Chain A
Amino acid sequence: MSTIASPAVTIAPERARRGQHKISFSWMVWPAVAFVVLMMVFPLVYAAWISLQDASLGTEPRFVGLDNYLNLASDPEFLNAFGVTWLLYGVALTMQLVLGTWLGIVLNGVKTARHLVRTIAITPFMMPPVVVGMLAIVILDPSVGIVNWLLGTVGVGPLLWLASPRWVLLSVALVDTWQWAPFVGLIVLGGLQSLPASVFEAAEVDGVIGWRRFVYVTLPLLGPTLLTAAVLRSVDLLRFFDLVFIATRGGPGNASTTMNMYAYQQGFEFSRFGHASAAMLTLSLVVLCTVMVFARLRRALSY
């Protein structure tokens, strides 16, 4: 029966199918495009437009070209915030990658009560930043904090922690590391469990064990995993805000005013929307460039 079927009959459905595919593809992509345009492109373009204007509360916006960006470049407060952001980023990222890697290896070796230990280990990064900020105040406040009280019981004088321009960034980095090193640890744990066992067996046969195995085998193999963790943490660290907003308000002085904190102050406290938009777009550019650098590194290290 099938042999007497006319060729026209068999060709028509094929054409129809091809036509249908063509139509459905182009139609189905539009909601996604609309979403991206509305939710991402429009706000970005709007922010860029605002950043080119002298827009403050209570005044008519006025087009000023790149003045806001030039003002940023000559504003010592912004330059300080730029430096603070990078310093905090470098210290915190280093601590989190080192501690996170160690934590991942430890978690990988845990055999007893494995699930319980992992659950406890990841608890800090499940906590809201506001809670962590409040904890930091309660624990590290030089006058009413518990750490100085404990130090006092063993005869150590009060340390200034968040109240000293010299130590505030390290204190903030420590608190952030406490919260996010387990996150890096979890990523490292996943990376470790996906590494090929044969490589380690070969290393063992060759007598490469212990610290040497970690340096020459584990760490290179973990490279892409660590870069993924670094990218994820970089985005957060460069936009650092919550903890300093709650615990230090950018102080003492401007010792912990990050770029994000600076932009918040300009926008929401001083209502200088044009200037704040320029600062935020500059920050976005910094984040984008950093992520691109890490992405290139990751491609170079992929095996």
Chain B
Amino acid sequence: MTTMPRARASTRSRTVGRRGPAALAGLIACLAGAAPAAAEGFDWKRYDGQTINLVLTNHPWGNAVREMAQQFTDKTGIKLRIEILNEDPQRARLNTLLQAKSSDVDVYISLKIREGAVYNKAGWYADVTPMLNDPGQTAPEFKLDDFGAGLIRNETFGGKLTGLPINVEGPLFYWRKDIFAKCNVAVPEYLEDILDAARKIKACDPSINAWAARGVRNAVPYPMAAFVFNSGGGFKSVDGTKPGLCRPESVAGLTLYTDLLKDYGPVGATNHSFPQVVELLGQGKVAMTHESSNEFSNIMKYPGREDDLGIKILPKGKASGVSQPIGFGWGLSISEYSRRKGPSWYFLQWATSPEMQATLVDRGVAPSRTSVFEGEGMRAWASQKPVRQQWVTAVSEISRRGTGDYASPTDRVPETREIIGRAAQEVVLGQKTPQQAACDADAALLKLQ
């Protein structure tokens, strides 16, 4: 889904080459040039001829790595066998393989804020610290402290480093500048303004959906969480010991999210996840959405969107004064049952290197390394279009202030998402009031503790 069509890819590479983020190219060249000098003593060919198995998700990062796999093989002699699956099937596959302690998977992508605690308890993550501290295994230019501290914290369980962060992401507020201008609507400054803006846009141009967002049960909490936080609520009680969706402020956030979806969203929104939202936004049928920063490059492929979209983090709550964006990173981990941990660690170093991250920026993967995020190359790339600059600013903000903790107090995070998403669906479908749905959800969430 995220693989760039050939024609478009070549256009893009020409664009990069001509108008070019010269500084980005310079940065890559500089890093690439500097690497051999720094790594003279490091044996990248130590595991020449070995093959490692990767189970990745259908994510811009995984798709890009598959295309660049040959570069890794050329550098190390290690071959990659890559399997890319959608998130749920990937987890199902890991369940099957790792529950059986199979050594068939060496490296896999994992979302630590979701399944990290449980996977760690099950012993599925290898501790990469010993390899990190071994100069024979870790290239001298590899700097762990270059990663965002919060991201490394997400990868750490009880002092055990279970992987390396590969990106930063979170939902962002996208709006169509041209529609707002045409309808003479001000860009929402506060969370509550979104509803007013939607109302005005619907009245001004009924042919367009004023709003779109995820409505599928387990996909809802991701874009809805910031609505709850910015309304002054949360997913835990004030003392943090019990579920908190039934708190009045949380109900206000739930109400706003579901009102937008129900009254201003596309028909059938309860079946929509990011593919439908991106498609509608890309096709120009939506005025506003709260969708993943990761989808930026996909949205930009549609004609016109580079010029008419605006991006920022979700506005803060007017009544609460709170602005709490969602932000976290996916991590790359080595299986505890892998028999090829050495070559796997080599892959982790290469895949999270500054050179790789600089290259992946053009595919909409926000880097997890500070040196790349704040580097000259990123600045040059962003300066080409206002929308890119807005995206960089917003992602930078979620990487600084974002939270990935939007579940009730339990390790059973996937179930909490299902229950919270279900509550939102019940409101959208008119089966319950927001208050009823939220309190029923809390009762169900309490049973998970």
Q: Which residues of A are in contact with B by a Cβ distance under 8 Å?
A: 57-59, 141-144, 148, 158, 160-165, 247-254, 264-265, 267-271, 273
- Nearest chain A CB to B332 CB, angstrom units: 20
Beta-carbon contact of B280 and A58 below 8 Å: no
Report Cα–Cα, A164/B430, bound state, in Å. Answer: 11
Contact A142 B268 (CB under 8 A): yes
Residue contact A270 to B121, C-beta cutoff 8 Å: no
By the criterion CB–CB under 8 Å, are A269 and B276 in contact?
no
B268 touching A271 by the CB < 8 A rule?
A: no
Give every chain A residue within 8 A of B217 (Cβ-Cβ): 249-251, 253
Contacts of A141 in B (CB 8 A): 268, 271, 276
Q: Is B375 engaged at the interface, CB distance under 8 Å to the other chain?
A: no
Q: B residues within 8 A CB of A268?
A: 88, 91-92, 95
* CB under 8 Å from chain A, chain B span 67-107: 88, 91-92, 95, 99
Q: Which residues in chain B, 267-282, are within 8 Å of chain A measured between CB atoms?
A: 267-272, 276, 279-280
Residue in B88, B117, B121, B268 whose CB lies within 8 Å of A160 = B268
User: What is the CB-to-nearest-CB distance from B262 to chain A, in angstroms, rounded to a whole number?
Assistant: 12
9 tightest CB-CB pairs across the interface, nearest first? A58-B121, A142-B268, A163-B268, A143-B266, A252-B270, A142-B267, A268-B92, A58-B122, A163-B271
**Using Cβ atoms and an 8 Å threshold, which residues of chain A touch B209?**
143
Once the chains bind, are B118 and A271 in contact (CB under 8 Å)? yes
B426 to chain A, nearest CB (A): 6
A270 & B268 in contact (Cβ 8 Å cutoff)? no
The reply to whether A162 and B271 form a contact with Cβ atoms under 8 Å apart is yes
B411 interface residue, CB < 8 Å from A? yes
With CB as the reference atom, state the residue of chain B lying closest to A245. Answer: B88
B346 to A: closest C-beta gap in Å? 29
Give the Cβ gap from B213 to chain A, nearest Cβ, in Å: 13
The answer, among A58, A148, A249, for a CB contact under 8 Å with B118, is A58
Q: Within the complex, what minimum Cβ distance (angstroms) separates B415 from chain A? A: 5
- Identity of the chain B residue whose Cβ is nearest the Cβ of A266 in the assembled complex: B415
Q: Does A253 contact B118, Cβ atoms closer than 8 Å?
A: no
Q: Is the interface of B mostly helix, strand, loop or mixed?
A: helix
B370 within 8 A of A: no
Do A269 and B88 touch across chains, with their CB atoms under 8 A apart? yes
Q: Which residue of A158, A248, A250, A267 contacts B267 across the interface (Cβ within 8 Å)?
A: A158
- Chain B residues 106 to 121 lying within 8 A of chain A, measured CB to CB, are 117-121
Query: Does A58 lie within 8 Å of B270, measured CB to CB?
Result: no
Determine whether B414 belongs to the interface, using a CB cutoff of 8 Å to chain A. yes
Is B255 positioned at the interface, with any CB of A under 8 Å from its CB?
no
Residues of A within 8 A of B91 (CB): 268-269
Q: How many CB-defined contacts (below 8 Å) exist between A and B?
A: 96
CA distance A271 to B412 in the complex (A): 9
Question: Which one of A251, A267, A271 lies within 8 Å of B271 (CB-CB)?
Answer: A251
B216 contacts the other chain (Cβ, under 8 Å)?
yes
Cross-chain contact of A269 among B117, B270, B271, B414 (Cβ < 8 A): B414
Q: Which residues of B contact A162 (CB under 8 A)?
A: 268, 271
Chain A residues in 8 Å Cβ range of B269: 143, 163
Q: Is B418 an interface residue (CB 8 A)?
A: yes
Contact A270 B280 (CB under 8 A): no
With A58-B411, A59-B121, A253-B422 in contact, do A160 and B267 touch (Cβ < 8 Å)?
yes
Q: How far is the CB of A198 from chain B (nearest CB, A)?
A: 55
Contact, CB under 8 Å: B418 / A143: no
- Cβ of B349 under 8 Å from chain A: no
Q: Which residues of B contact A59 (CB under 8 A)?
A: 121
Q: Are B280 and A249 in contact (CB under 8 A)?
A: no
Q: Of all chain B residues, which has the CB nearest A157?
A: B267
How far in angstroms is the closest Cβ of chain B from A261? 12
Complex contact A57–B267 (CB within 8 A): no
Give the CA-CA distance A117 to B415 in the complex, in Å: 49
Residues of B near A252 (CB, < 8 A) are: 215, 270-271, 425, 429
Across the interface, name the chain A residue whose C-beta is closest to B118. A58
A269 to B209, CA, bound (A): 32
Please state if B429 and A271 are interface contacts (CB–CB under 8 Å): no
Chain A, Cβ-Cβ closest to B219: A249
Let me know if A144 and B276 touch, CB within 8 A: yes
A253 engages B279 (CB within 8 Å): no
Which residues of chain A have C-beta atoms less than 8 A from B283's C-beta? 144
Give the chain B neighbours of A271 by CB distance below 8 A: 95, 118, 414
Whether B88 contacts A251 by the Cβ 8 Å rule is: no
Chain B residue numbers with a CB within 8 Å of A251 are 216-217, 270-271, 425
Besides A143-B276, A252-B271, A253-B425, 5 other A-B contacts (C-beta < 8 A): A57-B121, A142-B267, A254-B422, A268-B88, A269-B88
A164 to B418 alpha-carbon distance, docked (Å): 19
Expressed in whole angstroms, the minimum distance between the Cβ of A176 and any Cβ of chain B is 17
- Tell me the nearest residue of chain B to A255, going by C-beta: B429
A57 pairs with B118, CB closer than 8 A: yes
Kindly list chain B residues whose C-beta atoms are within 8 Å of the C-beta of A158. Answer: 267-268
15 A-B pairs whose Cβ atoms sit less than 8 Å apart in the complex: A58-B122, A141-B276, A142-B266, A143-B266, A143-B268, A158-B267, A162-B268, A163-B267, A249-B217, A251-B271, A252-B271, A253-B425, A269-B91, A270-B412, A270-B414
